Amino acid sequence: MKRVWRIISILIIVVVVLAVIKRFFFHPNVYPLKAWVFAWAGDTKVLESSTNTISKIELKRLSNLIRPGDIFLNRSDYYISNIGIPGFWTHAGFYIGTAKEREELFNNDIACADWVKTSGEPSGDLEELLRHRFGLVYEANSDKRNERNIIESKSEGVILSSFTEGAQKDGIVVLRPMISKREIAEAIYKTFGFVSKPYDYNFDFSTDTVIACTELVYKAYENSNLFPLSSMFGKPFVTANEIAEYCDSNYGTPELKLSLIYIYDGKNGYTTENDTAHLIFRKSWNESLW
């Protein structure tokens, strides 16, 4: 009987705690404390190293596969924040590529050039549009000494990261939107505009003033409807793991607009030439970090 009452007491405490969290989660006075806690948890490791981190050989292999507009989901072992993030994949980011990569992808696309012209760049050159609209960000992206070709949102806000910083993780999957080049160009343009925005510790996709990691990817491709939103405490939201789950649930259907390009599962790297890549990715969202 004591055991039964203990279980009931624990359940009551959990329900009360969740009710309090839900009641005050979005209160503006709580935000500074919440932001500090989440930032600390996201930057603090239980252990300092992992034997699962992707190797330099695999990073090189991945760098030859990824292209501008690709989305990546990744995970890093032993961070305290992983306790509160459901599922295997805990972070998302956006590969903007280099100027040369973007030129190779977009330069001969008429629809893309027309969109660039309607956006205020008479030449129809996407690079000129990015250079004129986002001067300092564009320069940082193009710096040959420290090329930063990934945009992601972390505790310090939306930042430019190098390929190594964004991809050298304990697990990474790259997904390619199967949409027009014009849509991809528009997404890259929007993502450039997110740089320097603060991190969204409310995890609320209904606002644009602050941006969470998966929010950045969603907002970039919002008009393309790559994946649906769920909710958290009544606000629109989606986790990196839910994106992977959506891909699994819609695998092989016309609705799915995301194509698997590469996956590193903490042990080995796989391209889609190997059917194992699809099998590993499809079940990955149901795995656990702990």
246-271 pLDDT, tens digit per residue, is 999 999 999 999 999 999 998 999 99
**Where in the chain does DSSP place strands (E)?**
71-75, 91-95, 150-154, 157-161, 171-177, 230-232, 235-237, 258-264, 269-271
Give yes or no for a contact between 151 and 220, defined as CB atoms under 8 angstroms apart. no
Q: Tell me, yes or no, whether 13 lies in a domain.
A: no
Question: What domain range is 165 assigned to?
Answer: 44-284
Q: What is the pTM of this model?
A: 0.85
d(CA 97, CA 66): 8
pLDDT of residue 39: 56
271 in a domain, yes or no?
yes
Please check whether residue 21 lies inside any domain of the structure.
no
In a domain, 7, yes or no: no
Name beta bridge partners: 237.
230
CA distance 262 to 93: 15
Does 235 fall in a domain? Answer: yes
Quick one: what percent of the chain has pLDDT higher than 70? 79
Count of domains for the chain: 1
Kindly state whether residue 182 falls inside one of the protein's structural domains.
yes
DSSP secondary structure string for all residues of 113-139: HHHHHHTT-TT--HHHHHHHHSHHHHH
124-161 confidence digits (pLDDT tens): 999 999 999 999 999 999 887 778 999 999 988 999 99
Residue 77 in any domain: the answer is yes
Residue bearing tokens 């699809």: 278
In a domain, 11, yes or no: no
DSSP bridge partners of 155: none
d(CA 21, CA 59): 40
* pLDDT average, residue stretch 208-237: 92
